[in-house]
Amino acid sequence: MAVVNANYEFIYVDVGANGLSNGDVWANSDLSRRLEEETAGLPDDQMLGNQRTLPYVLVGDDAFPLRRHLMKPYPFQNQDDEQRIFSYRISRAHRIVENAFGNMVDKFKILHNAMQVEPSKMEKIVLAYTVLHNYLFRNNEASYSPVGSLDKENLDGTITASSWRNSQQLLSLDRLTNTTDEAENIRKEFTRYFCHEGAIPWQHPMCGMEGNCLSY
């Protein structure tokens, strides 16, 4: 499990949880505990738009729970227009995470296969690759990640897929449904923001919609 910033860099990595379910990996992580205890070093809540103060959040997929500092898409069945917009916007952010993993695995081929080493050594190897990935991205991006190595979002919102997607496939993870009332309310506020003052021009056609989101 890892956290990736907007520059495709790994800023938190948890290795060595083989055999645990996705929910157990998150629940037993130091990051989960720190987020729950408000000791993860996140900035204070901030005004977003004109009418709401919201916390800083991480973006996850269905393998993670919905929490105050962790947002995920709505369940994909029976989404209304606003929920579809929110899920689309979350997926745009999550694509950064996919590309960080995909690019790293594409460059370091050993990560394509099971490592025939002791678990403690495997953990050090994976951590070393994430550090090397960050170093190369910061200092030699043109060679390490040339044009075509990452997904490209075009001006109309369409995606030109990266080269790594032709050679590998990210695994689908189990879906977690546990949430809190506070997290649900925060997700609703982000949803309203994305559908109004925080809207982007192409989000409606990308979601198969015409016109504006539902009013609130």
Return per-residue pLDDT of the chain as tens, 216 residues: 889 999 999 999 988 666 566 667 888 889 999 999 999 999 999 999 888 899 999 998 888 899 999 999 998 888 999 999 999 999 999 999 999 999 999 999 888 888 888 888 888 999 999 999 999 999 999 999 999 999 998 888 889 999 888 876 655 555 666 788 999 999 999 999 999 999 998 998 888 876 555 433
Q: What letter would DSSP give residue 195?
A: H
Helices 81-107, 119-139: inter-axial angle, 10-degree rounding: 100
φ/ψ region of 67 (left if φ > 0, alpha if ψ in -120 to 50, else beta) reads: beta
